[in-house]
Structure 1
Amino acid sequence: MEIEDRLSRTTRLLYERNMRTLVASAFAELTLREIGVARCDYFIKQLARQSYSRARQARVVLRLALGLAVRHEIIPRNPMDHISRLQRPARCPDVFEDSEIWQIRDAIREWEERPMASGPRPDGQLGQIVEVLLGTSVRIGEVLAIRIRDIDLRGAQPTLHICGTIISRKGEPTHRQNHPKTSRSVRTIVLPLFAVRAIRERLRNRLSIDPNALLFCNRKGGPLTTNNVRRQLRTIMDKAGLKKVTPHRFRRTGATAIYEAGGIDLAAGLLGHTDSRITEQHYIVRDDLVDPATASMLENRFGR
């Protein structure tokens, strides 16, 4: 019940913010009876030209507000029920080229090995985090939530058990949540050798042998924040002249590689998706080259 109350409070605050920042100014000078289908439709379409996400959020809160007016019999119908459907813009997921992966690795290594006039030398965690991201296609929060007990490098197939994520909420200390984003996201992944090497290197430098200790952590043993990792990665990449290097892009890159080699279902399983359509729409870059076999089939049928 407490979780439900917290979610409802969070949702209410989100709706209030969206109403205040996205909707209120456009309708502040109008009476409820002046807010019709055409006006609502125009407002949502204009907002969608700037941002599909903001238009979708505005549509939700405006529908709720006008629905309340209908229930109180202030207006006879909800004009939001009759506006045009929002069309999600086509988007092609961006992935790294193989050459870019090597450039990223080189940039991180040069940064970690650079001459230091003062202060502690980087401990190699960022490069190791990137290798695990690329070798598992998991979310950055899930990588930072890996405990020593979640790693098994002794078997014939080294594995990593994904069963948590890092949470940073305003007013709360950053902490490890004992489950990832969804129930399907709990999974065990067989590791490629480059990820195994990165984890072994980290374990050699990790002082704690507590099985519940985090693999990647700050100098006091506490969890790293996802924002700090993103910020550090962005700083290093900017200095190296590499743009749009984000943790999530490694996830899409790995998923696309698996899709090309093993198909959409295998990629969806690696990502922890319950529906492969999510994988296909948001994570996979498809090759637009049609199977060359079609040429020989048509030649056999219609050729002279």
Structure 2
Amino acid sequence: MGRPRTPIGTFGDVTYVKMPGGRVRARTRYRDDDGQVRRPSATGSSNKDALRALKASLAQRASHVATGEITGDTSFAKLVEVWLEDLDLTNQLAPSTRALYERNMRQLVMPAFEHYLLREITVRKVDQFIKTLATTRSYSMGRQARTVLGLALGLAVRYDAIVKNPVRDTARLHKPSSQTMALTLEQVDAIRAAVRGWRRGPGVPGPPPDGQLEQIIEVMLGTSARIGEVLALRKCDVDVTVTPATVRICGTIVSPSGKPTSRQPHTKTHKSTRVVSVPNFVAEVLRQRLVRVGQEAPDHLLFFTRKGSPLTTNNIRRRLRAILAEVGIEGVTPHAFRRTVATVIDRASGPDLAADLLGHTSSKITKEHYIQPDEAVDPVTAQILESLAPQRPEGAS
């Protein structure tokens, strides 16, 4: 057995012990990341050398935090992994939104921040990144990057890895001025004609189109529904026995990454489920679809592929874009029909009814993003302003 170790004094929270051979061991009490009190120690040829070795040992100590925990020294790439796991754990997002968040994070944000530690991400770095992205690429990309970066760093704040979220103090992005545009009746008819005539001329190889695209367009024009909501309509959602016929919009089509396309049993927001009365031209389309699925179960989709599976929104968009490009019509997306409906309803009955039809909780969103501004001022102003006409002198002819 060696000789007993003899205490030779305490300096602050450090205790020095004389070791055999003249060396000194420095020991202290240290409360670690996991809340446990530990007794690290180090040796040296003197008190000063032992203290220096102890400090170096503490600086390089292994973290004792639990798996999945994050600290200021955690890399941003690790935070993203934990954030995505947290999104799946809370399960509050629609699959399409979850996929969009991950894509925006990996494509827009990660290239700029993946090698930073969390404590190195400052307001200045975040502010410059968002401004540069919005300027060099697009306002939309800057806004989307700001959203996911703010959500991920918000999780870091909740884990006490950083004191505050640097995204909160960045400058506000100013959206470039633009004007919502609705389609005119002439444009709508041109689109109808282009879709109706696609691949139906003489000598066109292959089977002709099944007619669903033009029917889908009519339903969008008569309901204001989003493309995914139209594709999610089922046999049981339609009632053509009443006048006017009605459609219950209560689901949407989703195509999660790595998973098959399916019907989601709620719309973009849970509050936008609604029953819509439709015009006669839509009722006729619905009757045609009901005949097509007459022998199917009540929950069978009205629109579907030749194999009976759900149509994807991306395929409908691509087909519409390709058809219209052939006739020189550009810039028309399924959302253009939604804006057109909102504008028509607004002109007839105001923005509140338009908001109800579109499934918005407030007409503010409808007015800002869906209704084309009306430049015409009520002509009654001309009659009112006649009072300012110059007065003729008395006796003038």
Q: Match for 2:361: what amino acid?
A: T
Once the 2 structures are TM-superposed, how far is the Cα of residue 97 of structure 1 from its aligned partner? 1.4
Higher relative contact order (CA 8 A, sep 6+): 1
Greater shift in the superposed pair: 289-298 or 228-237: 289-298
Aligned: 1:141 with 2:228: yes
In the alignment, what sits opposite 2:280?
Answer: 193
Aligned: 1:238 with 2:325: yes
In the alignment, what sits opposite 1:183?
Answer: 270
Distance change in 2, residues 1:48/1:117 (3 Å): closer
Distance change in 2, residues 1:67/1:185 (3 Å): closer
Once the 2 structures are TM-superposed, how far is the Cα of residue 242 of structure 1 from its aligned partner? 1.1
Greater shift in the superposed pair: 25-34 or 49-58: 25-34
Q: 1:44 aligns with which of 125, 130, 138?
A: 130
Greater shift in the superposed pair: 47-56 or 123-132: 47-56
TM-score normalised by the chain length of structure 1: 0.84
Once the 2 structures are TM-superposed, how far is the Cα of residue 103 of structure 1 from its aligned partner? 0.6
Could you list the per-position Cα deviations for residues 82-102 of structure 1 after superposition, in whole angstroms to 9, with x for gaps in the alignment?
A: 432222223322321111111
Q: Match for 2:250: what amino acid?
A: C
User: How do residues 271-286 of structure 1 correspond to structure 2 at under 5 angstroms?
Assistant: 271-286=358-373
Gaps of 5+ in 1: none
In the alignment, what sits opposite 2:315?
Answer: 228
Distance change in 2, residues 1:19/1:303 (3 Å): same
Could you list the per-position Cα deviations for residues 248-291 of structure 1 after superposition, in whole angstroms to 9, with x for gaps in the alignment?
A: 11111111111111100110011010011111111110112222
Q: Does structure 2 conserve the Cα–Cα contact (< 8 Å) formed by 1:125 and 1:202? A: no
Inter-partner Cα distance in structure 2 for 1:99 and 1:147: 31
Could you list the per-position Cα deviations for residues 198-256 of structure 1 after superposition, in whole angstroms to 9, with x for gaps in the alignment?
A: 22233344463432211111112221111111111111111121112211111111111
Distance change in 2, residues 1:65/1:223 (3 Å): closer
- SS of corresponding position for 1:211: coil
Q: Does structure 2 conserve the Cα–Cα contact (< 8 Å) formed by 1:167 and 1:175? A: yes
Distance change in 2, residues 1:218/1:57 (3 Å): closer
Q: Does structure 2 conserve the Cα–Cα contact (< 8 Å) formed by 1:206 and 1:215? A: yes
Greater Rg over alpha carbons, structure: 2
TM-score normalised by the chain length of structure 2: 0.66
Q: 1:85 aligns with which of 163, 172, 177?
A: 172
Distance change in 2, residues 1:24/1:173 (3 Å): closer
- Would you tell me which structure has more strand in proportion to its own residues? 2
User: How do residues 91-102 of structure 1 correspond to structure 2 at under 5 angstroms?
Assistant: 91-102=178-189
Inter-partner Cα distance in structure 2 for 1:71 and 1:127: 54
Q: CA RMSD in A?
A: 3.4
Aligned: 1:111 with 2:176: no
User: How do residues 125-274 of structure 1 correspond to structure 2 at under 5 angstroms?
Assistant: 125-206=212-293, 208-274=295-361
- Would you tell me which structure has more helix in proportion to its own residues? 1
Once the 2 structures are TM-superposed, how far is the Cα of residue 302 of structure 1 from its aligned partner? 7.8
